[in-house]
Structure 1
Amino acid sequence: MRFFLLPACLLIAFAAHAAPPQGTDELDPALAGKGLMGQFHQVRQTVVDRTSDLVVTAIGFLGVPYRRGGNNAETGFDCSGFVRAMYNQTVGHLLPRRAVEQAAATEKIDRSELKPGDLVFFNTMRRAFSHVGIYVGDGKFIHSPKPGAEVRVEDMTGSYWQRRFDGARRVLAAQGEVKGSGD
């Protein structure tokens, strides 16, 4: 039962983040006058759909075991293999393999700008960008943590993760494709 409640709660949290921003009423007439309103809503909906799909897909892999160098559910995932597989499966873009490469290939954002689907990086091996996960909203991220563990959702505000936080990155859409990162 608890495995069904977590995805439902995450989807509700995501829906709150996907709501249209306040103050768009002032922007609407300007965009409509230039015939851009429909395009704006279509692009926004595409981003929301992809992010929602990414988070929902990732949640579906809860419990898959960690495996160093792993990049599929049958044998297990390491952190960057998990992130890479989720982006490839849902967005159709193959990110670099290693976490440090994923960090280098994505756009740096402030922690306060995090949205579901963004990447979060941590220093867990005494080197920058040695661990990566996918932000799911409400201060939580999903990742494949370490040997002997399984894909799980954790709270970034816990002291362990706060002390090791290296930064947040966004995989950008360009020409209908997402460009990105790996471990």
Structure 2
Amino acid sequence: MKRYTREITLVLLVAVFTTLFMPAAPAQAFSLSDLTGTSSQNSGGSSSLLNILLALLLGKVLGTSNNSSTDMSPALGSGTGSKTVDNTGTKGAQLIQTAQKYMGVPYVWGGDTPDGWDCSGYTQYVMKENGITIPRTAAEQYNTGTPVNKSDLKIGDLVFFTTYKPGASHVGFYMGDGNFIHASSAAKQVTINSLSETYYDEHYIGARRYIQ
């Protein structure tokens, strides 16, 4: 009985030691004879019982360890997949951020500085601040950029209108959600309007893209 108690204690201590300090695979390699220093022939019935207890203990520990590893997999994988970056959208957002810095700057016919500008002077200046060179006038900007369908507009595209003369005579930046920002002669400043407003809807003639 005393020996049986000593073996039980030893098994429990070894199980705890294995759980805390040893990897799962080596722990599975131990047999009861390695732990107690006795052979299966000498241990008899008590050895069989101890083997069962040890197997249950280690099985529980190893099972818990494996489950924990499995549960961690989604967390480790989360956010590590590749993500496609829309460079056009990113650059467009930068353009609009720059354009909005000048909200309220007065409209000045022929102006091309933040002290005051017309529509194309404004678009040229904002583009230049973002490393893009475009012509000076609305007509030239319309003739140079890549044509874009109205249904395919992206943030940062230039939208054009025919106003006081045939052809492209007014221009602004498309902001998304049907809105555009421009140096407006009617508002006498840089402002935001909707493409769906009657005047702009009727005078809209197209869009051009300079961001590739």
Identity of aligned residues (%): 36
Which structure has greater helix proportion?
2
Q: Paired residue for 1:59?
A: 100
Q: Paired residue for 1:80?
A: 120
RMSD between aligned residues: 1.9
Residues 1:93 and 1:160: Cα distance change in structure 2 (over 3 Å):
same
Matches within 5 A, 1:9-20: none
- The amino acid of 2:127's aligned partner reads Y
What SS does the corresponding residue of 2:175 show, helix, strand or coil? strand
1:22-43 residue CA offsets vs partner (Å, 9 max, x unmatched): xxxxxxxxxxxxxxx97x94xx
Q: How many pairs are equivalent? A: 132
Higher relative contact order (CA 8 A, sep 6+): 1
Residues 120, 170 of structure 2: 8 Å contact kept = yes
Residues 119, 170 of structure 2: 8 Å contact kept = yes
Q: Distance in 2 between matches of 1:93 and 1:59?
A: 17
Divergent runs of 4+, >6 A: none
- Aligned pair partner of 1:69 in 97, 110, 120: 110
Unpaired stretches in structure 1, ≥5 consecutive residues: 1-36, 174-183
**TM-score (normalised: structure 1):** 0.67
**TM-score (normalised: structure 2):** 0.58
- Aligned pair partner of 2:169 in 127, 130, 135: 130
Residues 66, 144 of structure 1: 8 Å contact kept = yes
- Aligned pair partner of 1:101 in 131, 140, 152: 140
- Aligned pair partner of 1:157 in 185, 191, 196: 196
Residues 107, 172 of structure 1: 8 Å contact kept = no
Q: Distance in 1 between matches of 2:89 and 2:176?
A: 13
Residues 134, 143 of structure 1: 8 Å contact kept = yes
